[in-house]
Structure 1
Amino acid sequence: MASNDVTAVEGETAWATDQLALAAAMTALLKDHAGLGIRLKEVPFDWTSGMHRLTGSFHYITFADGVPTVQEFVEYLYDCLIPYCLPKSKVRDALQGIDPVLDYHRIVRLGDDAKSLFIKAKNQLESGGEPGELILYALLEWVLKAPRLVSKMYLKTNSNMPVHGTDGIHLGYDEAKDVLTIYFGESKIYQSFSSAADAAFTSMAELLANAGQISREIEILNNLSDLNSLDPAFRAKIADYINPYSTSKLTLQKRIVHACLLGFEYAAYNRILDLEPDKVASAFEEKYKKRIGSACRVIERHYGKRLPVTTNLHLFLLPFPSLKIFRAAFYEKLGVAA
């Protein structure tokens, strides 16, 4: 083999190794969400809209003995407060060299800090402190394997650093294609699906029409994110992907996806609860699949009329038996009034 061929092979091998290492580093930033698969179930649905930039994931709260496990879902969300609310560096520093017997107070204080931030957001911000943002965070990490790189809750509640815009910023990396995805999160939980969809598309359309706001979101990712949790070499590579002023070819290998959670109250839950317990879940799924189909048609109409055709959008759909009961349970767990 000629020397230039050897060099080419070695270069390709190093490139592939680097991609795998970056993928592993990104995966290491994810919280272990295995437990979420017990609380939410995904319903397979073939969404053939013809709109190639439109994708979706469709979930519902699981049943136990024929009853929706709302309280258990709330408990899971509560356990996500620390990784959602606090920067990874703050958590890492607090737990560095910890002895669980002698230093348990440091763990308690982390929980207190996260809880206080969430409550502060609920009390002070027009948009914030909603469990929907917490659900969106968990779904992005669990379903799309995209770690949270910006603690929007932490930034929003910092009086010296007012931050608006998206409900979250996550990063995903496809090592096979060597493509970095920036996810801008949007969470809307309303009584009706139509209201949630309308509010979400209004918000996304406003963001897309505001180039300055999108630039600020990218700037936050560059300067105020948890990228310092990565090895310096990987930080530098990600900077090449997302830095708009970089001359690296990697800037051509990124995309932005708007990840939108639509939560709504779904009356079908109440219509099946008098069935035999072991038949409830299958009966619910049959009804829900039809609702998914009608919801997707609404999303297609909104998308076609209100967003540029080049917009990448991933929809998360999640129905609730009762939003009043869900919110009351969540805020009771926090120790505050709904």
Structure 2
Amino acid sequence: MSTINATVLEAAITGNPEALDVHLTLVERDVLLAGYSVKIHCHCLAVDGNGRIQLRRLAEFMRNAAADYALPRSKVAEAKARDAKYNSTEAVAELVERAKRSFTDLAKTGEGGEMLLFLLAERFLKLPQILCKMDLKTDSRLHYHGADGVYAGVTSEGVLKLYWGESKIYEDAGDAIRACLGSLAPYLIEPEHEGAERERDLLLLSDKADLSDPMFTAALRQYFDRSSPQSNRVRYCGLALVGFKASFYPGEDAQAVADDIAEAARRALVGWSENIGNGLAKNKLEQLEIEFFCVPLTSAQGFRDVFLETMGLEKK
């Protein structure tokens, strides 16, 4: 049986990581909090050469990755192979349209945040998504149950690090942080039992975890087979993203300066980090390994609106 290692997981990652830097500017990474096992990362919206905030370009970038996010890797690989055989783009184009139709058109949708979490997890942290839950939706206007994403890493000893993902896009940073950690906590701290919050996703992983390559996919699924010794070699970790309105972005008619925005974000990160520490303590997450993304936005609802419009969805 094949084993899962860092090389295998890295091979499953989608997209060009440098493209992420075009749309999101890294302000700080791996910020540590004393007494906690969390790493905080902060990205701001990029500023172009004309001093404009590039929110719509970010939404277009996200739209172009919809198939990578919303469809199982094996289905995308099959479509690419079919197109290569027939010298066509028909199969991939069909999948792209299918992926876009799976997104909800609800005005308060959280799917933009979930997709942003996917892009940062894969292209910034090099953690591949191993369970594609958008493909399991039976109604595009409903959100799927369970975590906002499931990602994988591995230790040098071969222990699978299973990252449960949660994202919240709110106007207020404190509200977003509290809600995100409150939603994430059950997946990390509940005892193992059939009624645990994560149990539904674990059952899905045993059958639908996907690394595209059939051999490595079979090896990965062994970690979620309760009759396999590999099931004792899984460590639960957290992956969190909060997006929220930040006052340091200039108005629509004002010219933005990237360095000023980054400096303001660094100052504000002190307060956001304090809120994160309080949320970790409240939810008994002090010793759990968590990668935490802070993404200040010009407006939370503005982000949702632009995402829906770019995806070709009418707000409901």
Q: TM (normalized to structure 2)?
A: 0.86
Return closer, same or farther for 1:327/1:284 CA change in 2, 3 Å cut-off: same
* Residues in 1 aligned to 2:159 and 2:26: alpha-carbon distance in whole angstroms: 26
Deviation digits for residues 40-81 of structure 1 (CA, Å, limit 9, x no counterpart): 121225634223421121111111132211111111100110
Aligned to 1:215: 199
- 2:302 is paired with a residue whose SS is helix
Is 1:172 aligned to 2:156, yes or no? no
Q: 1:28 aligns with which of 3, 6, 11?
A: 11
Q: Structure 2: state its 5+ residue gaps.
A: none
Report how far residue 272 of structure 1 moved: 11
Higher alpha-carbon Rg: 1
Contact 1:263 1:317 in 2 (8 A): yes
Q: Structure 1: state its 5+ residue gaps.
A: 1-17
Alignment size in residue pairs: 306
Deviation digits for residues 304-331 of structure 1 (CA, Å, limit 9, x no counterpart): 1123444322211101112333322221
Q: 1:224 aligns with which of 208, 225, 233?
A: 208
Matches of residues 71-150 of structure 1 in structure 2 within 5 Å?
71-99=56-84, 103-118=88-103, 121-123=104-106, 130-150=111-131
* Residues in 2 aligned to 1:239 and 1:89: alpha-carbon distance in whole angstroms: 14
Aligned to 2:43: 59
* Residues in 2 aligned to 1:199 and 1:266: alpha-carbon distance in whole angstroms: 18
Deviation digits for residues 15-50 of structure 1 (CA, Å, limit 9, x no counterpart): xxx87x833222121112321121112122563422
- Which has the larger displacement, 326-335 or 55-64? 326-335
Is 1:307 aligned to 2:284, yes or no? yes
Aligned to 2:299: 322
* Residues in 2 aligned to 1:299 and 1:132: alpha-carbon distance in whole angstroms: 18
Contact 1:260 1:316 in 2 (8 A): yes
Which residue identity does 1:198 align to in structure 2?
Answer: R
Root mean square deviation of aligned Cα: 2.8
Among the aligned pairs, what percent are the same residue? 26
Q: Which has the higher contact order (CA 8 A, sep 6+)?
A: 2
Return closer, same or farther for 1:298/1:272 CA change in 2, 3 Å cut-off: farther
Report how far residue 337 of structure 1 moved: 2.0
Return closer, same or farther for 1:28/1:64 CA change in 2, 3 Å cut-off: same
* Residues in 1 aligned to 2:160 and 2:222: alpha-carbon distance in whole angstroms: 10
Is 1:293 aligned to 2:275, yes or no? no
Contact 1:272 1:283 in 2 (8 A): no
Return closer, same or farther for 1:214/1:72 CA change in 2, 3 Å cut-off: same
Aligned to 1:15: none
Contact 1:25 1:230 in 2 (8 A): no
* Residues in 2 aligned to 1:236 and 1:336: alpha-carbon distance in whole angstroms: 37
Q: 1:238 aligns with which of 198, 207, 220?
A: 220
